[in-house]
Amino acid sequence: MRAPRGTGIVLLVLFAGTPSALAGQEDAAAAGKVVYDRWCAECHGETGQGDGSAAASMLPRPRDFTQALYQIRTTGSGQLPTDADIRFAIENGLPGTTMPGWPNLTDGEIDDLIVYLKSFSRFFGQGPAPEPLDFGSDPGGGPAAVEAGAAAYLTMLCEECHGLSGRGDGTSAPTLEDWRGLPIRAADLTEAWVLNGGSSVEDMHTRMLTGLDGTPMPSAIDAMNSGVVSPDEVWQLAHYLASLGPREMPPLRDVIRVGRAEGGLPADGGEEAWAGVEAFYFPLSGQVVQLPRNFAPAVDGLWVQGLHDGNDIALRVQWNDPSNSPDPNWDEWQNKITTALDLDGAEPIALDSVGAPTSRPPDAVLLQFPFEPPEGTDRPYFLMGDAREPVYLWTWDSETGVGAGRGRGLDSVEPLAEDPVAGEATWEEGRWTLYLRRSIEIESDGLDFAEGTPTPIAFQAWDGSSAEVGKRSSVSTWYYILLEPPASSTVVVTPLLAMLLTGAFGLVLVRRAQDRRRDG
Amino acid sequence: MKQRGRALNSHLRNSFWYGGKSMRSHFWNRSAALLAVVAMAACGGGGGSSEGAADDAGEAAPAAAAVDPSTVGTISGMANFGGMVPTMEAIDMSAEADCAAGYGADGPMAQNVLVSNGGLANVFVYLSEGVSGAPAASGAAELDQVNCRYTPHVLGVQSGQDIEISNSDNLLHNINATPTENRGFNISQPRAGITSTQRFQVAEVMVPVRCDVHGWMQAYIGVVDHPYFAVTGADGSYSIANVPAGDYTMTAWHEEFGTMTASVTVTAGGTAMASFDYSGEMMGADVPMGDALVLEHGTNRIRVERTQ
Ligand SMILES: [Cu+2]
């Protein structure tokens, strides 16, 4: 256990200044440096300034330890973190960022690392050790608490940045900057599993009272102490935030099951009928296989639902994107992204004489399928196929709508003349809802969703306002989509078998998802 | 902006998907983009106006608690501005109608350069060398938010002095101070009547303060180790009382014109003059931010030193 070791560190700090304690600190810092140089320096830089070799392609950037600005703390706004706060971030990582948790480090290694991290900044060691705030106690959750919390959300005007639905699409969202002047997202509170401080009610409550130093997220403590909201209402607000969506990443399932619609297919993505249809969540990660790579993807996942009526298949795809691109309100954001981010060789979008971008890319999503039914586990290359084995693309972008194409690689797409796919998309409060429809079977092409046979499916997404175009996208691996037969017949391929067919890349995504889920 | 039609085949050329290799540089219609470019040019006019600006007279620093009047004098002077006054940009406050309503027909203008009758407002002047010891800060400095702007725009405080930050607007501001020598803070004030008390422990000229909800809101706080500082008023004048007799260097800081210094000798009972001359050509000067002032005890000097 770590308790004895932790106690030792506390004593060292208490007696800092005596020669033996100083020597102990120096030993710990030297041991911490070894850990740091091996695991941390590539992102955080040798001198701790957050400027390692990998940093420029990341947003948000790695922490600059010399400033001692720690987002995830239990101390007041602007205060230094406690050692336990630093340990929390090292052990759990910061979900939603490129900072993973470090289960490979021992308690002792983390103790040493903390001493070394603190040595980067002159702020540590001045004055008394930082103390956590008094967070009071949770009066409890439940529907009444959630309702009171929703009122507190409006009282505190959280929607200015986080939006009315909490998806990070508030009026101020496009202009937000971190302490370095780099663009920073207002958190999407409906995806609690990517909140960097954790997703529990306690985590949310703590973040509201401490603020996230170095970001636009302020501390609510003076508003609470002034009586704008009571201490209980801040807790209720935390319960409300925790109610906005799943706290953990939805379990990854490999097969989208498409049921038969009894009362006919919905005619668009807004119909009530979709509410009763099972939704499947698929995480996306940045395209980092081919140049230019995308290490800071904007779209991190999408929800897919499907229905069929024996003739047509209808899919509803939903994902959160705070910008309805192209939107001039996001010009500044787009410009900052193109200057702040190492685009890995992609050409930045040029500005005109008044500083406006010469191009505002659209938002876009594609679904891809094999052209011919796959044999065994063989599937086309997951990045839009290749010359040998093209893929069938259902494309949508916010400028030109729905289309269909043949992909032979990431920058080789040609339209299909038949226009077999129809559909439309709507954007509301930070979320796109895309409706797609096609015949289950078309004579002239090989994509056949014949009942009982799982068809491989994969996804890609772009956020235009984040200057995502071409290969700078978010991608998924191959999954499956399966039309459910009428109740009388038998399922030919079980979901379990289909899961076994999923390739190694899928496992990577799953592991990554698990990493991100470990928080709070 | 207008979207092009959604007819299924209309996009086969020049769309997101079919740009091939040229996709990277231009895969959507540039002319459409240009149509949508919002005029971002600044409105002219209003140069030199000082509506809602700093106080009429330069605000003196809080007086020391126990001053022997037979040993102190006063420093006063002007920040003079010559030549063409740079045009300040209009602030688009349409997102906050309640705030915008607080301004005249010209609407709110930026406060970077406020000139009135040849006097430059919002210059932070302080003794940067020659101070030996100093009385502790007394009383609190005040920073208010009125019609989505900071009042004052430039504030001087003594290290350790309470800064009372209040909100006169019944809407959300966050006060985000980003010093480099001190610890910062970021506090939300979602309605009128909230007050936050903050302090900076060490000298730092200047500490930027901003509101992330309203990108135009910007203030600067100058923190020094003694009470001998002032901010020039709307007429460009300032006055610092109760300065111990002696020889000093005075530094003037302005957010667009950077810093300049002057030597000043204070005599008991006398008034020393120190003025600073500015002109529009100085726009774009190197403006120091976050410089530490390290008090060297026993050497009778304050040394300006960049510690990082
Ligand atoms: Cu504001």
Which pLDDT tens digit goes with each residue over A6-37? 333 333 333 344 556 677 888 999 999 999 99
The pLDDT assigned to B137 comes to 87
Question: Mind listing the pLDDT tens digit for each residue in A107-157?
Answer: 999 999 999 999 999 999 877 889 999 999 999 999 999 999 999 999 999
What is the pLDDT, as a whole number, of residue B151? Answer: 97
CA distance A270 to chain B (A): 18
Look at the block and give the residue holding tokens 């010559």. Answer: B82
The three-class DSSP label of residue A382 is coil
The domain in which residue A508 lies consists of: 493-520
Q: Best interface-test mutation with B: which of A185, A222, A287, A406 has the largest number of B CBs within 10 A?
A: A222
Q: What's the A222 CA to ligand 1 centre distance in angstroms?
A: 16
Q: Which residues of B touch A415 (CB under 8 A)?
A: 12, 17-18
Q: State the count of interchain CB pairs (< 8 A) between A and B.
A: 178
Q: Looking at residue A415, what DSSP letter applies?
A: E
Which residues fall inside 5 Å of ion ligand 1, going by CB?
Answer: B 173, 211, 213-214, 217
> Do residues A203 and A345 share a domain?
no
Tell me how far the alpha carbon of residue A463 lies from the centroid of ligand 1, in angstroms.
28
Instruction: Count CA atoms within 13 Å of residue B268 on its CB side.
Output: 5
Confidence of residue B104 (pLDDT cuts 50, 70, 90): confident
Q: Tell me the average pLDDT of chain B.
A: 78
For residue B34, list chain A residues with Cβ-Cβ distance below 8 A: 352, 358
- Residue A377: which pLDDT band, with cuts at 50, 70 and 90? confident
DSSP bridge partners of B84: none
Indicate the residue of B10, B95, B186 with minimum beta-carbon distance to A219: B186
**pLDDT band for position A450 (cuts 50, 70, 90):** confident
The vertex-A108 CA angle with A105 and A114, nearest 5°, equals 85
Q: How far apart are CA A420 and CA A477, in angstroms?
A: 24
Please tell me the distance from the alpha carbon of residue B244 to that of residue A426, in angstroms, as a whole number. 70
For chain B, which residues make up each domain, given as ranges? 2-48, 72-280
Question: For residue A493, is pLDDT > 70?
Answer: no
Please give the structure tokens belonging to residue A127: 């004055």
Q: What is the Cα–Cα distance from B240 to B221, expressed in whole angstroms? A: 17
Q: Could you tell me the pLDDT band of residue A368, with boundaries at 50, 70 and 90?
A: very high
Q: Determine the length of chain B.
A: 308
C-alpha A458/C-alpha A452 separation (Å) is 19
A339 with A436, same domain: the answer is yes
Q: Do A172 and A212 belong to one domain?
A: yes
Query: A171 vs B95: CB contact, 8 Å cut-off?
Result: yes
Whether residues A368 and A329 fall in one domain? yes
Q: A360: exposed, middle or buried (C-beta count within 10 Å: 0-12, 13-18, 19+)?
A: buried
**Does A357 sit within 8 Å of B212, measured CB to CB?**
no
Average pLDDT over residues A149-168: 97
Task: List, for residues B193-249, the tens digit of each pLDDT value.
Answer: 999 999 999 999 999 999 999 999 999 999 999 999 999 999 999 999 999 999 999
What residue has token string 């007279």?
B57
Q: A422-428 and A431-439: which strand pairing?
A: antiparallel
User: Distance between alpha carbon B137 and the CA centroid of its chain, in Å?
Assistant: 22
When pLDDT is averaged across residues A354-372 and rounded to a whole number, the result is 93
Q: Is A328 on the interface with B (CB under 8 A)?
A: yes
The larger pLDDT score, comparing residue B54 to residue B291, is at B291
Pick from A218, A399, A402: which is nearest to B176 by CB?
A218
- Identify residue B130 by its one-letter amino acid code: G
Same-domain check for residues A175 and A276: no
Neighbours of B299 (CB within 10 A): 9
**Helix, coil or strand: residue B302:** strand
Assigned domain for A135 exists: no
Tell me the two tokens of residue A142.
């439940």
Dihedral angle sign, alpha carbons of residues A87, A91, A95, A97: positive
Complex-level ipTM: 0.84
What is the pLDDT at residue A424? 97
Number of domains chain A contains: 4
For the ranges A282-286, A345-349, B32-36, the lowest mean pLDDT is seen at B32-36
Q: What is the mean pLDDT of residues B126-149?
A: 94
Let me know whether A423 and A278 are in one domain.
Answer: yes
Q: A264 near A308, Cβ under 8 Å?
A: no
Q: Taking residues A419-443, report their average pLDDT.
A: 95
Is residue A128, in this structure, part of any structural domain at all? Answer: no
Across chain A, what does the average pLDDT equal?
88
Q: Quickly state the pLDDT bin for B292 (edges 50, 70, 90).
A: low
Residue A78 has pLDDT above 50, yes or no: yes
Task: Give the span between the Cα atoms of B14 and B17, in whole angstroms.
Answer: 8
Give the integer Cα–Cα distance in Å for A1 and A5. Answer: 8
- A108 with A25, same domain: the answer is yes
Nearest Cα residue to B128 out of B229, B278, B230, B238: B229
Comparing CB atoms, the residue among B16, B177, B196 nearest residue A399 is B16
CB neighbours of residue B23 within 10 Å:
21
Retrieve residue A314's tokens: 């209808």
Note whether A417 and A451 are same-domain residues: yes
Lowest mean pLDDT among A208-212, A372-376, B94-98, B293-297: B293-297
CB-CB neighbors (< 8 A) of B97 in chain A: none
User: For chain A, what percent of residues have pLDDT higher than 90?
Assistant: 74
pLDDT attached to residue B189: 98
CATH, range B72-280? 2.60.40.420
| Residues A284 and A363 grouped into a single domain | yes
| Phi, psi torsion values for A129, nearest 5 degrees | -65, 140
pLDDT over 70 at A454, yes or no: yes
Interface with chain B: mutation pick from A213, A400, A438, A473, highest number of B CBs within 10 Å:
A400
**Which are the contacts of A440, defined by CB distance < 8 A and separation ≥ 6?**
A308, A310, A311, A312, A313, A448, A449, A450, A451, A483
